[in-house]
Structures are given as structure tokens and as C-alpha cells.
């Protein structure tokens, strides 16, 4: 999955004041890369990640995902890309607090029912098209993934009943459940102790070896060392 | 995302906040139950009234003295001595449609048997009266023409009178005093229940119509309060009315320009009026009940708005993992529908139960029609859609980034 950012600029407006968060960023990410994004607080890392993750739109510039210009896509088309192509992992895990680990992991599957590539769903849930169909199959996929991440004994626990590392692994399972080619992680180890952080990073390394493109944000050098490539942001610009 | 899954998700999120969901549902339950119960009682009453009226005899015609244009009925009874028993005889003889006829004279009076007292309406009729009213005798027999001719002091009593004066004793052959005059009881009428207009039809004493005037009222007048007659079939109603009008006009020597000095009514008019009144009452009560349903609907809207705000992050997250605006919209609308639908079903059950209870305890007839159940269910679902849509729409318009950042 090739990511191609061309002259991306993002300007936030707080009242009359324009805050440029990203300035003319151009970047190419090849399939299978493992990138760490670093930079001081406020340098625009999260902003960049949100744009790559199709959660936000740039103020100007073009963003090509697999040769397709996603800058002009509508809300539904972006939702489709987020569902199928991108797995998101957040610093604060963002799990549904009242749902079990299994239910949290199943979540993206609910929105993965058959959709035409333009993002318009037809409401059907045909197995040969979606790959995942029946509730049982969904459950099984989520189940397997949690088992693989060592959470087989925590399936029906709620997030509050899990440790930080376990919660982040649930979030990783959720990001992987639709088998996206790209995984984005915004400070995935920010809330974890160093031992757990390294376990999580080992996991990312394995995923990358399986062929998944990974971009992650971190403030820590030893975390960034797991990546194959480092991008350093300063004041909304790439400096390395 | 398919509808089944959406329902599953909705049920799951609602069950995560059971007390709140329960209270919201309660609003709908009360509304729907009230509507169902009110409609059941109202429709039951309407059906009962209709069956009573038809049991009264659909082929009945009633002739009252006094003209309709001067308010016939209202000062007809007794004030205008324009209708006599010989009018009745003439109608019976000349009309092609009339099968049976009885004059009716009315008074009231104190009844005494041994130490028991009872006040009751007294009706003077002809021997055909039981046939015309389709009213059988429980005990004894009815009087004959000879009794009418000689204005005999005999009577047939209704079930209520029998119960109050005689209790377990057999009234037939006993002497009671009516207005202090001795009357022999020769029969007891079968119980008929209360009439559509609420009057107890069994609280009556029936005597020869001549006895009312000559004996009880000590009057020389020969007029009657009403002529009650039976025609062959309802299809002849209008022709019969026309013919009777002609006969009476001729007998009363009315000039062609003069108004009728009598009024002819039939049961269909009464039936229409009473049914219409019952229907209006039902409608009025149903409107009042619907207001509580409206309040329930506003409750749903309120809770859904709170829920959307509370779950802003959840919405943002769902969007981040691929939910489209319409998925979120559907999710919240379905949640509202599930709330109102559950409320609707429970409301229907509780409403029907209440109606059943009313039927048992008060002996009031109720009718829970399939139509009202369907209507209530559709209505409650519609309440969910209507009041759930706005909060759901607000949720679906959220920006994923801002929603995720919401504290
Ligand atoms: N919604 C917003 N409205 C206005 N300004 C914003 C908004 N989001 C971010 N910014 C600004 O954009 C700049 C970049 O923010 P961003 O969140 O991308 O930084 P970051 O590199 O992720 O920082 P951190 O390491 O603290 O997470 C900051 O100056 C920030 O104040
Ligand atoms: Mg950040």
C-alpha cells in the first residue's frame, strides 16, 4: 500500500488566529515499511497521522492512497477506507468501556459488511464478498486474534478489568481484525510501563514482518528503534 | 451493516444502562397501556350498546304524542292528549306493515309487600307487549285482552322488583299494594339487564294500560304516552313510517299545512345516537391517553440526546473504525425504536391486562381488538422513529476527530 503525500498543509483556526500544524509536507511510504514519527509536542505528529488515517482532511495538498486521490472523497468513502485499509491504535486505547474485549474487537467487523468500493453499502452481508459474514464467523475471527495476542483468557472482560498492556493489545486486535494493510499508532506505548511497551513493540515488529505497513508516533528513542525508518517533525515540517 | 446486527448492538447498548432504559420505556408503557385500556373499554361499551339495542328489537317503531318541530319528545309525554289507544287500533287495522302494537301508559308508585317497600316505574301495556319487546316470562303468565278491557288489578313484575319485594319467595299469586291498592302478581319477567342508556329495565311493574289511567291515576282520559309497534322488517321502516303518518294525520283531521301532532321514532336513530356518543367518548379518552404517549416520546428524545452527548467518544471511535454517518444514524434510531417498541409491547400487555381486570372486577364489557393492538404497536414504533431521529441525526453529523477528542 503506497502512501503518497504531496505538499500537505493543515491549518487550524482558533478564532481569527491561524495555526499551521503541517506545512507543505511531502512523503512517500512504500508497502511493508515500519516508520516511527518523532518530534516535540505540538510539532504536528497527530495531525499528520489523522490525515494519513483519513480521519481528517488537509487544508491543501494531495493525498494518494494506492494511487487514489483520497483528498476529494466524501465522508462515506473515507469511512470505508478507514474500515478496510487502516487499523488505528490510540494512546488512550479508546475501547468501549461497557463492552467486553471480544465485543470491542468485533466492532470494525460490524461496519465491514459488503460495500461497493465507492463506500456506498448495499446493506447486504454476503460472505463471498466481505470475507466475514455470520456473527459466529465474526466472533471466531475476533477470538483467534485475541488468542494470538495472549488474551484468550480475557475475552469477556471489560476494559476496566484489564491492565493497560492488555487494553492496548485489545486495541491492537481491533485494529487488525479487518486485516488492513496499514496500521497507524499514535503513541501506542505512551500510557504503558517500559516492559509492557517493549512487549507491544515486539508485537508490532512481528506484524510488520507479516507484511503490514506500520506508522507509529513516539516520544521515546528506544521505541523508535524498533522501526526501520524514522521521520522527524519540527513545526509542521519533516526535518529528516 | 445489516438490520439484525443493528438491533443486536442497540439491545446491547441499552442493556448497559438498564435503569435509564427501563425508566424511558416506562413512559411509553404507560402511554400505550392507557390508550389500549381506554380503547378496549370504549369499544366494549359500544359493542354492548349495539347488541342491547338490537336485542331491544330493530323492527320497533315508537309513536309519541306532540310534534317534533315543537320539541315533540320533550313535552310530548302526557302534555298533549293527542294520541289515543284507538289511534293504535286504527294503525293495527289499516297499516300493511305493522305486525303487533301496544299502547304504553306510564306512571310510578310505591309498591308494598308485607313490610317491604319499593318505588318503581309502572308501565301500562297491552297483552302483545312481551312479544313486541321480545321479552319472555320467568314465571307465571301475562294478562289477556279481557284484563285490559276491565282494567283489572293484576300485574307482571320485573326481576329487580321481584328481588326487592320477594327475595326468595315465589311472587306469583301474591298480592302487592301499588299506591295502596291491592294488585295480584300473575307473572315475573325474565331478567333483561340495564339498557344502553343505563336504566335498569328490570325495575318495572307491568299492568294493563287501562289500569294505569282508570285505576292508578283515576283519570277519565283515554290518551296514551306512547305507541310501541313492531313491523315485519327493517327494510319497511320508511314505508311504515309514511303510512302510519298518513293514518294518524287523517284521524287527527290535520290540515295539509299543519305540522304532525305526533312523532315517530325508530331504533336505528337511537342506536346511531348512542353509538356516536360512545365513539366520541372513546375518542376523547384516547386523545387524553395519547398525550401521555407524547410525554413518553419526549422522554425518549431527552434520553437519546443525553445518550448521544455521553457517547460522543464512542461515536467518534465507531466512525474511526469505519462507521458511516448513516450507520450511526441507524444505530440511534434503532435504539429509540427498541425502547419504544419494548414499551409498546409491554404497554399492550399491561393495557389488555388492565382492560381484562376492569371486565372481571366491574363486569364492564371490554374489547381488545387486533386493530387497536396493531395501531398501538405501529404508533409506539413511530414515536421511536419520530423522537429518536433528531438525536440520531445529531450523532451522525459528528466529526470523528472532534468526537474522539471530546471529554
Ligand atoms: N483542533 C485543533 N484546533 C486548533 N489547533 C489545533 C487543533 N489540533 C491541533 N492543533 C494545533 O496544531 C499543532 C499540532 O498539534 P498535534 O496534535 O498534531 O501535535 P503533536 O505533535 O501530536 O503533539 P503531542 O506530541 O503533544 O501529541 C499544535 O500547535 C496544536 O495546538
Ligand atoms: Mg499527538
In this prediction, residue B58 carries a pLDDT of: 66
Number of neighbouring beta carbons within 10 Å of residue A236:
23
Distance (Å, whole) CA B311 – CA B332: 11
Task: Determine what percent of chain B is predicted with pLDDT higher than 90.
Answer: 48
In this prediction, residue B196 carries a pLDDT of: 58
- Chain A residues near residue B2 by CB distance under 8 angstroms: 113, 123-125
Could you identify the atom of ligand 1 that is nearest to the CA of residue A13? 4
Q: Average pLDDT, stretch B237-266?
A: 88
pLDDT tops 70 at residue B2: no
Length of chain A: 240
Q: Average pLDDT, stretch B229-243?
A: 86
In this prediction, residue B55 carries a pLDDT of: 67
Say yes or no: CB of residue A218 within 6 Å of ligand 1: no
Q: Ligand 1 mean position to A216 CA, how many Å?
A: 16
Three-point CA angle B196, B198, B201, nearest 5°: 85
pLDDT tops 80 at residue B187: yes
Say yes or no: CB of residue A83 within 6 Å of ligand 1: no
Could you identify the atom of ligand 1 that is nearest to the CA of residue A48? 18
Distance (Å, whole) CA B286 – CA B31: 10
Q: What is the DSSP letter of A133?
A: -
Say yes or no: CB of residue A45 within 6 Å of ligand 1: yes
pLDDT tops 90 at residue B223: no
Q: Ligand 2 mean position to B355 CA, how many Å?
A: 62
Say yes or no: CB of residue A44 within 6 Å of ligand 1: yes
pLDDT tens for chain A, 240 residues long, are 689 999 999 999 988 899 999 999 999 999 999 999 999 999 999 999 999 999 999 999 999 998 899 998 999 999 999 999 999 999 899 999 888 999 999 999 988 864 544 444 444 333 333 444 566 777 888 999 999 889 999 999 999 999 999 999 999 999 999 999 999 999 999 888 999 999 999 999 999 999 999 999 999 999 999 999 999 999 999 997
Work out the angle between the directed axes of helices B312-320 and B267-310 (0-180°, nearest 10). Answer: 80
Length of chain B: 407
B18 vs B275: which has the higher pLDDT: B18
Say yes or no: CB of residue A96 within 6 Å of ligand 1: no
In this prediction, residue B71 carries a pLDDT of: 44
In this prediction, residue B76 carries a pLDDT of: 41
Structure confidence by residue, pLDDT tens digits, B52-93: 776 666 688 889 888 755 544 444 444 456 788 889 999 999
Q: Average pLDDT, stretch B155-184?
A: 93
Task: Show the domains of chain A with their CATH numbers.
Answer: 31-56+74-238 (3.40.50.300)
Distance (Å, whole) CA B402 – CA B397: 11
Shortest CA gap A79–chain B (Å)? 5
Q: Average pLDDT, stretch B185-189?
A: 95
Work out the angle between the directed axes of helices B3-15 and B18-57 (0-180°, nearest 10). Answer: 110
In this prediction, residue A167 carries a pLDDT of: 95
- Chain A residues near residue B323 by CB distance under 8 angstroms: 79, 83, 110-111
**What mean pLDDT, rounded, does chain B reach?**
87
Burial track B267-291 (b if 16+ CB lie within 10 A, e otherwise): beebbeebbeebeeebeebbeebbe
Structure confidence by residue, pLDDT tens digits, B307-362: 999 999 999 999 999 999 999 999 999 999 999 999 999 999 999 999 999 888 88
Question: Do A181 and A31 touch, CB atoms closer than 8 A?
Answer: yes
> Which residue, among B316, B321, B323, B335, would best test binding to A if mutated, counting the most A CBs under 10 Å from its CB?
B321
> Which residue, among B9, B16, B322, would best test binding to A if mutated, counting the most A CBs under 10 Å from its CB?
B322
Question: Do A24 and A61 touch, CB atoms closer than 8 A?
Answer: yes
Q: Tell me which residue of B330, B1, B331, B10 sits closest to A111, measured CA to CA.
A: B1
CB distance from A123 to chain B under 8 Å?
A: yes
In this prediction, residue A110 carries a pLDDT of: 85
CB contact under 8 A, A125 and B320: no
Amino acid at each position: 500500500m503506497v502512501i503518497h503525500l504531496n505538499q500537505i498543509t493543515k491549518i487550524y483556526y482558533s478564532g481569527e488566529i491561524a495555526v499551521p500544524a503541517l506545512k507543505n509536507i511531502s512523503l512517500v511510504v512504500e508497502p511493508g515499511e515500519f516508520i516511527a514519527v518523532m518530534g516535540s509536542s505540538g510539532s504536528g505528529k497527530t495531525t499528520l497521522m489523522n490525515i494519513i488515517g483519513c480521519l481528517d482532511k488537509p487544508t491543501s495538498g494531495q493525498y494518494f492512497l494506492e494511487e487514489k486521490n483520497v483528498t476529494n472523497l466524501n465522508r462515506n468513502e473515507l469511512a470505508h477506507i478507514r474500515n478496510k485499509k487502516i487499523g488505528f491504535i490510540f494512546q488512550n486505547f479508546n475501547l468501549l468501556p461497557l463492552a467486553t474485549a471480544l465485543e470491542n474487537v468485533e466492532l470494525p467487523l460490524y461496519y465491514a459488511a459488503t460495500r461497493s468500493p465507492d463506500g456506498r453499502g448495499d446493506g447486504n452481508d454476503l460472505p463471498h464478498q466481505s470475507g466475514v459474514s455470520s456473527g459466529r464467523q465474526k466472533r471466531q475471527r475476533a477470538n483467534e486474534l485475541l488468542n494470538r495476542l495472549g488474551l484468550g483468557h480475557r475475552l469477556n472482560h471489560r476494559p476496566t478489568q484489564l491492565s493497560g498492556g492488555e487494553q492496548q493489545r485489545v486495541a491492537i486486535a481491533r485494529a487488525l481484525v479487518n486485516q488492513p494493510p496499514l496500521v497507524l499508532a499514535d503513541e501506542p506505548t505512551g500510557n504503558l510501563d517500559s516492559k509492557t511497551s517493549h512487549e507491544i513493540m515486539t508485537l508490532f515488529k512481528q506484524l510488520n514482518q507479516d507484511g503490514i505497513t506500520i506508522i507509529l508516533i513516539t516520544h521515546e528513542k528506544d521505541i523508535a528503534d524498533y522501526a526501520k525508518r524514522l521521520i522527524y517533525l519540527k513545526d509542521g515540517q519533516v526535518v529528516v | 451493516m445489516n438490520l439484525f446486527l443493528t438491533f443486536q448492538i442497540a439491545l446491547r447498548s441499552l442493556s448497559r444502562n438498564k435503569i435509564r432504559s427501563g425508566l424511558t420505556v416506562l413512559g411509553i408503557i404507560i402511554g400505550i397501556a392507557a390508550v389500549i385500556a381506554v380503547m378496549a373499554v370504549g369499544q366494549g361499551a359500544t359493542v354492548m350498546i349495539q347488541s342491547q339495542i338490537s336485542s331491544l328489537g330493530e323492527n320497533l317503531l315508537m309513536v309519541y304524542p306532540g310534534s317534533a318541530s315543537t320539541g315533540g319528545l320533550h313535552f310530548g309525554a302526557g302534555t298533549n292528549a293527542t294520541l289515543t289507544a284507538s289511534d293504535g287500533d286504527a294503525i293495527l287495522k289499516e297499516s300493511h306493515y305493522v305486525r303487533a302494537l301496544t299502547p304504553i301508559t306510564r306512571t310510578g308508585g310505591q309498591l308494598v309487600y308485607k313490610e317491604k317497600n319499593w318505588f318503581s316505574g309502572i308501565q301500562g301495556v297491552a297483552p302483545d307487549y312481551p312479544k313486541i319487546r321480545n321479552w319472555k316470562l320467568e314465571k307465571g303468565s301475562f294478562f289477556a285482552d279481557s284484563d285490559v278491557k276491565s282494567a283489572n288489578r293484576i300485574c307482571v313484575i320485573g326481576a329487580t322488583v321481584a328481588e326487592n319485594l320477594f327475595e326468595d319467595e315465589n311472587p306469583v299469586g301474591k298480592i302487592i299494594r301499588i299506591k295502596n291498592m291491592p294488585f295480584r302478581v300473575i307473572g315475573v319477567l325474565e331478567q333483561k339487564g340495564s339498557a344502553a342508556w343505563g336504566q335498569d329495565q328490570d325495575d318495572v311493574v307491568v299492568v294493563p294500560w287501562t289500569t294505569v289511567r282508570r285505576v292508578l291515576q283515576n283519570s277519565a282520559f283515554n290518551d296514551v304516552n306512547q305507541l310501541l309497534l313492531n313491523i315485519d322488517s327493517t327494510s319497511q321502516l320508511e314505508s311504515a313510517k309514511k303510512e302510519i303518518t298518513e293514518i294518524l294525520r287523517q284521524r287527527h283531521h290535520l290540515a295539509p299545512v299543519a305540522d304532525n301532532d305526533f312523532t315517530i321514532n325508530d331504533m336505528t336513530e337511537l342506536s346511531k345516537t348512542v353509538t356516536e356518543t360512545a365513539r366520541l367518548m372513546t375518542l376523547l379518552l384516547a386523545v387524553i391517553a395519547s398525550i401521555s404517549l407524547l410525554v413518553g416520546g419526549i422522554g425518549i428524545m431527552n434520553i437519546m440526546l443525553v445518550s448521544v452527548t455521553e457517547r460522543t467518544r464512542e461515536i467518534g471511535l465507531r466512525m474511526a473504525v469505519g462507521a458511516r454517518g448513516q450507520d450511526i444514524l441507524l444505530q440511534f434510531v434503532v435504539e429509540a425504536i427498541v425502547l419504544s417498541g419494548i414499551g409498546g409491547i409491554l404497554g399492550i400487555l399491561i393495557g389488555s391486562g388492565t382492560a381484562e381486570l376492569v371486565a372481571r372486577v366491574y363486569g364492564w364489557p371490554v374489547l381488545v381488538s387486533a386493530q387497536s393492538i396493531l395501531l398501538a404497536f405501529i404508533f409506539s414504533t413511530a414515536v421511536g422513529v419520530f423522537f429518536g431521529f433528531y438525536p440520531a441525526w445529531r450523532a451522525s453529523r459528528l466529526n470523528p476527530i472532534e468526537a474522539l477528542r471530546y471529554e
